Amino acid sequence: MVDAIPTLAWCAQPGGANELLNGRWHDYTGLPVEEGSGWGWKTAIHPDDLGGLTGKWQALLVKGEPGGSERGYGVRTRLSVVPLSSRTASRRNRPGRPVVWDGDGRRRSKRGESLRAAEKRTLEMIADGAGLEDTLNELCRSIEVQAPTTISTILLMGPDGKQLWHAAALVCHALGYQQSGRGRLVAPSCCGAAAFYKRRVIVADVATDPVWSDENRQLALENGISAAWSQPI
């Protein structure tokens, strides 16, 4: 189970000597797990980050409290250095002294930082009283920055629960949604399917999937959309 999780998990003695590393250690570093036992894990940490990381460890040891490295540190891989952030927690004996430290590390990415910044912007807009359309358009913009080849749109369900109405999409007009002046039915087809079934609907191939009507299929293909998915919120 520990080897199957997507993060690098470890267990260490109070002083820092490693007792356990899961299979992600090898995935990240290319080194055998055995080489990371004891103090061998230090060989994978970038020299510029090792001092700060061990200093953080000593501070946690003195306090005996959970902690981590939000700043992140570099782990050397087969080909490059990847930034990781970590979380650390202690298991203690009755007097409260740490007897074992457990932790995990996960890859930090510019994408994650960008998503956190987008979340902050959206919450600030809500707090400042921005209009719903502006706020939802900003949400679509944030999504499309992460995936530039996608078109993002948000539909709101009408009060009768039978229609979906355009709420936000930066290029939604290119697909003719705004010009239609009418809502889309909550039905087992196109965008309404996710609302109808109350689950995510994935269309891997717009050209052949029966979920799309001929009219919407043609409109999508003319605008370069070859696949789509809808998610009820």
Token pair for 4: 């199957």
Whether the per-residue pLDDT at 179 is higher than 50: the answer is: no
How large is the average pLDDT for residues 217-232?
A: 87
CATH architecture assignment, domain 8-108: 2-Layer Sandwich (3.30)
Residues 63 and 81: their CA atoms lie apart, in Å, by 30
Range picked from 111-120, 167-176, 224-233 for highest mean pLDDT:
224-233
Stronger pLDDT, 65 or 192, i.e. the higher one:
192
Distances (CA, A) of 180 to 166, 167, 175: 10, 14, 10
Looking at residue 107, what is its pLDDT? Answer: 63
Range picked from 96-110, 172-186, 204-218 for highest mean pLDDT:
204-218
Average pLDDT, the chain: 78
**Taking the model in full, what pTM does it have?**
0.52
Distances (CA, A) of 74 to 44, 48, 57: 9, 8, 16
Q: Could you tell me which residues come within 8 angstroms of residue 34 by beta carbon, excluding any fewer than 6 positions away?
A: 40
For 134-165, the pLDDT digits (tens) are 999 988 888 888 787 888 889 999 998 899 88
Task: Provide the pLDDT confidence category of residue 106 given band limits of 50, 70 and 90.
Answer: low
Q: What percent of the chain has pLDDT over 70?
A: 74
Stronger pLDDT, 77 or 70, i.e. the higher one:
77
Side chain identity at residue 189, one-letter code: S
Parse the chain into domains and list their residue ranges: 8-108, 109-150, 154-233
Distances (CA, A) of 60 to 19, 21, 67, 172, 181: 18, 20, 7, 51, 61
The lowest-confidence range among 37-46, 58-67, 224-233 is: 58-67
Whether the per-residue pLDDT at 21 is higher than 80: the answer is: yes
